[in-house]
Amino acid sequence: MRARSKSSIKVLFLILIFFIALPLSLDFLMGTRLSKYVSWLESGISIGGTKITIINIAYLVIFLVFFIFVSRIIRDTLQNRILPRTRLDIGARASFVNIVIYTFWILAIYTGINILGINLSSLAFMAGALGIGIGFGLQNAVNNFVSGIILLFDPSIQVGDMVQIGDDWGTVNRINIRTTIIQTFDNASLIIPNSEMISNKVTNWSFKDPKVRRHVDVGVAYGSDVQLVHKILLQIVNDMPEIMNDPAPRVDFTDFADSALIFRIRFWITSPEFWLAAPTELRFKIDEEFKKNGIEIAFPQQDIHIRSASGLDEIIKKGDYLQKLSTD
């Protein structure tokens, strides 16, 4: 942030030096009067009843550079100094900062038009042309723009929320005026138009309450002590710091499967960031404790019983005869 501020100051300083030094340099080299170049700076082009001069354009450039510099200071002050002291969550802070900056940009555009000396009433024809453009080719752009404004004021999706869109999971990184940036767990950036965030189904795992319920299934072999299994699983899940004690975790004996007795551990985690870490750590601890207590984790197996098969007796007798010859 400091490096950007320094670069903005340098650019502003160079622009000021250029417009001050240009007339003086020409006056020295060509031996002409300074007044001619002052009048040259005040010359320009006329559009309708409005005259746009070179010096007004220079003032506009200086103003915009100065405004960008100030807006960065305001953004940095709000994000790092003022808002962290409030009770607002990270999503509400980001929305508030964006609203403030966009409001400043609207004021900057209005001020820039006045600096150029353009009469807003003379731009009425542009409003009609813009309306025709919106009707034909800018529907999606305007739709995304309006949806972006809605997202800024809508608390259902905010910066920092963990969301699921189709098969994609990620964290809302930034809500722009046209698109929403979602950072996936594979460190890929999903750039989604705001209109899709408004109209399509979005699962927000962080909305209002950050805690999330997960479950892990485990199957033990038939003949295992089910009460001991229940006790061990409950003890493991209660000892994990990532898992909440309220609501309390529970272990259910859910099914007699073909090859296993199925238990399901249901538990709550404090934040979606433990979505994968908590079940993984739980499975490691289950495997470790089952080995200590001699409990077998079941795997698929089948017993085949052959009642009768034509020619099977002859094959068995032949096998016994060959085995007898090999021992002799």
The residues, ordered by sequence, that sit 6+ positions from 298 with a Cβ below 8 Å of its Cβ are 219, 220, 221, 222, 257, 259, 260, 261
Q: Which helix (H) or strand (E) holds 291?
A: helix 277-292
Distance CA 51, CA 43 (A): 9
Digit-by-digit pLDDT tens for the chain (328 residues) are: 455 555 555 555 566 556 555 555 555 555 555 555 555 555 555 555 566 666 677 777 777 778 888 888 888 888 788 877 777 766 677 777 877 887 888 888 778 777 776 666 656 656 666 666 666 666 777 788 788 878 877 778 888 888 888 888 888 888 887 889 999 888 888 999 988 888 888 888 878 777 888 899 999 999 899 999 999 999 999 988 888 888 899 999 999 988 899 999 999 988 777 778 889 999 999 999 999 999 998 877 777 766 666 655 666 666 554 455 455 5
Residue in this structure with the two tokens 């002799």, named with its chain if needed: 328
Return the structure tokens found at 121. 């009433």
Taking a C-beta distance cutoff of 8 angstroms, is the pair 170, 184 a contact?
Answer: yes
Side-by-side strand order, sheet with 261-269:
212-220, 261-269, 250-256
Buried/exposed 158-179: b ≥16 CB within 10 Å, e otherwise: bbebbbebeeebbbbeebebbb
Q: Are 49 and 122 in contact (CB under 8 A)?
A: yes
Buried (b) or exposed (e) across 10-38, using 16+ Cβ within 10 A? eebeeeeeeeeeebeeeeeeeeeeeeebe
**Nearest CA-CA partner of 234 in 265, 277, 274:** 265
Looking at 53-89, list the stretches that DSSP marks H as alpha helix, in order from N- to C-terminal side. 54-77
3-state secondary structure of 197: helix
